[in-house]
Amino acid sequence: MSIAVYDFSCNPKMTWLNVNSGCNMRCKWCYNGMKSVTAGGEMSLSLARELVDISKELGVTHVNIIGGEPTLWAGLFELNDYIRAVGLGSGLITNAMRFSEDAFLDAYRAHPNDRISISVKSADEEEFLRVTGSREFGHTQSGICRALELFDTGVTTVYNSLVGFEGLRRIAERSRELGARSIIVNMCSPVLKNGKAELGYSIPAERIAEETVAIADMLEALYADEYELDIQMPLCLFPEEFVDAMLLRGKIQTICQMFSRGGLNFNTEGDVLPCNELHETIIARRGIDFNDAKSLYTHLNREALREFYAGLLRYPSAQCDVCRRRDDCRGGCLMNWLIYEPSICRAVK
């Protein structure tokens, strides 16, 4: 059995810029809603450009623009132009509501991103209001349709206990009707609220395997081979034959950029976070720990920070040490281990 070597050094290839905290939805499972301030925080355009320059110098090739809802951020079009001008690719992570506005769509066409990730919350008007707090279901559906036409792409959605399996089925079917070429399903993770971990709207571990297999069957029927599952839970919880087949086809994953340390995640102040779920944990403070690319690289690769990551991303259970899938799995999203006991894991021989 080959063993991957992790030294927990940082060599970023992708950047996430959280340009704002404000959003036109209040999805109940969103990490943004768990923050003490859910609106008002915005990144300045000058700071965004500075962070793009730092990213490029560090070897980053792609910048993702995220929020909040980044289409509400006034600097979006200028930043898109700047990223392109310095030779990097860009992606927009959006709920697509504003694409229903003619003026916004016309302006966006002139200043587009290279890629777009369209996050779909619900395909039912009543449910949409319940889970997002927004009455703009019709506008959002129109915006999704327009964004799909513009990019000829797919959608993403979060599988959570509020929407459930039937709600996910409606999302998958409706997105296909609107023109989605593919779909990515992200499993809802536990959340941090006021410093405490909560299960939130994630699917409990005892149900996750059965529901995931059913989801895969449903998506296969609708999208053939054009779907992915980000299951976030340990692979040992799922049927072995199912996992082997899905891994072979590249249909499931549990490992994110945190494990490779291949990404930079900047909050609205320009500080670096491990990920948005860990929004209370800052690993590099702008103006204190770094001022430029060289000082940021040096800080992110300090021995103390590498040891921090080694502890943070350690295998959750001794069972993982002797599991044949450990390098594909690594225990899944670390947020789970703020809730679950390591005893849920078992070694797959």
Q: Give mean pLDDT, residues 106-126.
A: 97
Q: Give mean pLDDT, residues 15-32.
A: 92
Give the C-alpha separation, 183 to 175, whole Å: 8
Is residue 211 within 8 Å of residue 188, measured between CB atoms? no
pLDDT in tens, 283-292: 999 999 999 9
Residue 88 has pLDDT above 50, yes or no: yes
- Lowest mean per-residue pLDDT among 26-35, 155-164, 169-178, 298-307: 26-35
Residue 37 has pLDDT above 70, yes or no: no
Give the pLDDT confidence score for residue 249 in this predicted structure: 96
pLDDT in tens, 42-54: 999 999 999 999 9
pLDDT in tens, 155-181: 999 999 999 999 999 999 999 999 999
Per DSSP, helices labelled H in the chain are 31-34, 45-57, 76-85, 102-110, 125-132, 137-151, 164-178, 205-223, 240-249, 257-260, 293-300, 303-312, 318-321, 326-329
Give the pLDDT confidence score for residue 3 in this predicted structure: 42
Q: What is the mean pLDDT of the chain?
A: 93
Residue 34 has pLDDT above 60, yes or no: no
Give the C-alpha separation, 21 to 31, whole Å: 11
Residue 35's pLDDT band, with cuts at 50, 70 and 90, is low
Give the C-alpha separation, 304 to 260, whole Å: 17
Buried b (16+ CB within 10 A) or exposed e, 36-72: eeeeebbbebebbbbbbebbbebebebbbbbbbbbbb
Distance of CA 108 to the CA centre of its chain: 23
Give the pLDDT confidence score for residue 38 in this predicted structure: 42
Give the pLDDT confidence score for residue 5 in this predicted structure: 53
What does the radius of gyration of the chain's CA atoms come to, in whole angstroms? 20
The percent of residues in the chain predicted with pLDDT above 70, rounded, is: 96
Q: How many residues does the chain have?
A: 349
Give the C-alpha separation, 325 to 10, whole Å: 24
Give the pLDDT confidence score for residue 9 in this predicted structure: 92
The end-to-end CA distance of the chain, in Å, is 10
Residue in the block written with tokens 């927009």 = 92
User: What domains appear along the chain, each with residue ranges and CATH number?
Assistant: 14-344 (3.20.20.70)
